[in-house]
Structure 1
Amino acid sequence: MSPDLTLPYDGHAPDFASRPVWCGRGSTVIGAVRVGAQAWIGDAAVIRADGEAVTLGDRFWLGHRSTVHIATATRGTVCGDRVSVGRNSVVHACTVGSDVVIEDDVVILDHAEIGDGAVIEAGATVFPRARLAGGFVYAGSPARPRGALTLAEAAERGERLRERAGEGEAPEPGDPVQVEDGVYVARNARLRGRVGLGSGASVLFCCALDAEVGPIVVGADTNIQDNTVIRTRGAGVVIGRDASIAHNVRIADCRIGARTLIGIGATIAPGTLIADDVMLAAGAATDPGQILESGYLWGGRPARILAPLDAERRLMMTRIVEAYSRHGREYRQAEAELG
């Protein structure tokens, strides 16, 4: 069995040590990915190596709607053997040891290192450059140790996770999409209802944009990354131009300004108003009706001001937009060649 969608990137195609045990509907593997034997890849799970390599050991399990990605031109992702990842989690530009259990709704961020036999509990965020020793259970945001456990206990947690996560949740098909030249919508993204995409916008793999109640309007050159879900239930969603919506974000009816960055795994509650030039940290969440003022890095649950948005952060945000504009062009060409 093979993933629903495999694409080369920059001359590198995915490499599987053996045929995966299972690949769900919408499963996607791209670029310089090396996957060990007996892999299990869930529905709408995405492994994307577009600029750095991803190396996954034997018996790697990736749950439904989870994402493995790299930091472009900075760092790849490496996972050891017998790593189990639950649903809706993100493993990003980091190093994960063997026999590690990553439960549902977890975010692991750039340059983090996780030792053998660790368990990351549901909803945790592992901050950038964190060093998590093996043999412990971690929880919270930032993830902190809650207690020690044996390798056998970690293996049992992994077995329970796989039993819970094994039941499928195959994505429903979207409406036919007609977009202008220069807009990229991945072939396994699902768009339904009144969705408007500005010039140069991109909607990546396994995203779901549901605008059957209120409209979704996405500004020019804005990117919406893998496994993000935007669902309207009232007034709709408007996202300004030159914005980045990272992997596995959840967005309800709201307004998001221009030149914003919504971090990995963030949740935007109904009625939120995010001004122009805002960075919302990974794993953060807003309260219903919350207003995020311009010019700051916000983070936490609920989101609060953490720091001014300095020149270094603004430059990073600009570079992400530029990189995803390039990715959109490259993926359009790769899918056209695939036929």
Structure 2
Amino acid sequence: MTPELILPHDGVLPVFSARPVWCGRGSTVIGAAAIGAQAWLGDDSVIRADGEAVTVGERFWLGHRSTLHIATDSHPTLVGDRVTVGRNAVVHACTVGSDVVIEDDVIVLDGATVEDGVLIEAGATVFPRSHLAAGFAYAGSPAKPQRPITAAEIAERAERVREATGDTPSPVAGDEIDVDPSVYVASTARLRGRIALGAGSSVLFSCDLHAEVGPILVGADTNIQDNTVIRARAEGVVIGRDTTIAHNVRMADCRIGARSLIGIGCVLAPGTVVADDVLLAGGSTTDPGQLLESGHLWGGRPARILGPLDADKRAMMTRIVAGYCEHGRVYRQMETGEN
């Protein structure tokens, strides 16, 4: 059994030490990924090694709609043996030891180190460059140690996560969306309803965009990254140009301005308005109708102003947009054969 979609990056294809024991529909593995024996890859799971390596040990379990990714030219992702990742989780540009359980909706961010024998409880966020010592259960945002944990409990929680995964409903087929030739929509993404994608924009692997009532309008050169779910159940969703919507974001009926970045795993409540030039930190949430004013770094649950959007952050956001424009061009060419 192999993933539904396997793509190279810079001419490098993923390497599997043995065929995975399961690959769900929409599962995707890209680039310089090395996957150990007895891997289990859930529906819409994504492993993307397109700029650094992803190395995964034996008996790895990646739950439905979860994402492993790297930070281009700075951080690989290294995962040990017997690691279990639940549903809708993100393991990003970090190091994870062996015998670790990462439960549903967890986010592990860039430069973090998780030692052996750790439990990260559902909904936690491991902040960048954090160090999670062995033998503890962690929870919260930021993730903090709650209590010591034994190897037996780690094994029990791993089994519980795996049993809870179960089968997911068969997805409704996406609609044919008329897009500009410069737009990239991954073959594993699903788009339904009135959706307009600006020139140079991209919708990455296993994203799910559904314009149920209102439209979804995406600006030029904006990127919507793996496993993001967008719903337009009322007035619709508008996302400005040159904006990044990172992995596993969930939003409904929002307005996002230009040149903004919505971080990994954020959840935006209906009616949220994000002004131009905003950075919302990974793992953050908003309240219904909340306004995020321009020129600030926001973060927290719910989001609050953490500081100014300085020149370094603006430059980083610009680099991400440019990088994803290039990713979109390359992936479009690989999937369609077009130049």
- TM-score, shorter chain, exceeding 0.5: yes
Aligned residue runs from structure 1 range 221-300, under 5 A: 221-300=221-300
User: Partner of 1:210 in structure 2?
Assistant: 210
User: Partner of 2:140 in structure 1?
Assistant: 140
**Is the 1:37–1:57 contact (alpha carbons within 8 Å) kept by the matching residues of 2?**
yes
Identical columns (%): 70
The CA RMSD measured in Å over matched residues stands at 0.9
- After TM superposition, the score normalised by the length of structure 1 is 0.98
Structure 1 stretches of at least 4 aligned residues deviating more than 6 Å after TM superposition: none
CA–CA separation in structure 2 for the residues paired with 1:211 and 1:177 = 12
Aligned residue runs from structure 1 range 102-251, under 5 A: 102-251=102-251
CA–CA separation in structure 1 for the residues paired with 2:12 and 2:171 = 28
Give 3-state SS (helix, strand or coil) of 2:54's partner.
Answer: strand
User: Partner of 1:72 in structure 2?
Assistant: 72
Aligned length: 338
**Is the 2:122–2:139 contact (alpha carbons within 8 Å) kept by the matching residues of 1?**
yes
CA–CA separation in structure 1 for the residues paired with 2:14 and 2:169 = 25
CA–CA separation in structure 1 for the residues paired with 2:289 and 2:117 = 41
Q: Which amino acid aligns with 2:271?
A: G
Task: Return 199-208 or 168-177, whichever deviates more.
Answer: 168-177
Deviation at 1:125, TM superposition (A): 0.1
1:98 lines up with 2:98 in the alignment: yes
Aligned residue runs from structure 1 range 292-331, under 5 A: 292-331=292-331
**1:130-184 deviations in Å (ceiling 9; x for gaps):** 0000110000000000000111211111011101113334433201132111100
CA–CA separation in structure 2 for the residues paired with 1:88 and 1:97 = 20
**Is the 2:8–2:14 contact (alpha carbons within 8 Å) kept by the matching residues of 1?**
yes
**1:203-257 deviations in Å (ceiling 9; x for gaps):** 0000010002110000000000000000011000000000000000001101100
**1:245-295 deviations in Å (ceiling 9; x for gaps):** 000000110110000000000011111111000000000000000000000
CA–CA separation in structure 1 for the residues paired with 2:310 and 2:94 = 25
CA–CA separation in structure 2 for the residues paired with 1:87 and 1:149 = 22
Aligned residue runs from structure 1 range 15-26, under 5 A: 15-26=15-26
CA–CA separation in structure 1 for the residues paired with 2:221 and 2:171 = 26
CA–CA separation in structure 2 for the residues paired with 1:188 and 1:178 = 17
Q: Which amino acid aligns with 1:160?
A: R
Give 3-state SS (helix, strand or coil) of 2:322's partner.
Answer: helix
User: Partner of 1:13 in structure 2?
Assistant: 13
CA–CA separation in structure 1 for the residues paired with 2:330 and 2:29 = 15
Task: Return 251-260 or 172-181, whichever deviates more.
Answer: 172-181
CA–CA separation in structure 2 for the residues paired with 1:293 and 1:100 = 39
Give 3-state SS (helix, strand or coil) of 1:217's partner.
Answer: strand
**1:103-124 deviations in Å (ceiling 9; x for gaps):** 0000000000001010000000
Deviation at 1:63, TM superposition (A): 0.1
- Aligned in 2, Cα 1:286/1:48: closer, same or farther, shift over 3 Å? same
In structure 1, list runs of 5 or more residues that go unmatched. none
CA–CA separation in structure 2 for the residues paired with 1:277 and 1:180 = 26
Give 3-state SS (helix, strand or coil) of 2:52's partner.
Answer: strand
CA–CA separation in structure 2 for the residues paired with 1:117 and 1:155 = 9
- After TM superposition, the score normalised by the length of structure 2 is 0.98
In structure 2, list runs of 5 or more residues that go unmatched. none
Task: Return 319-328 or 145-154, whichever deviates more.
Answer: 145-154
Give 3-state SS (helix, strand or coil) of 1:10's partner.
Answer: coil
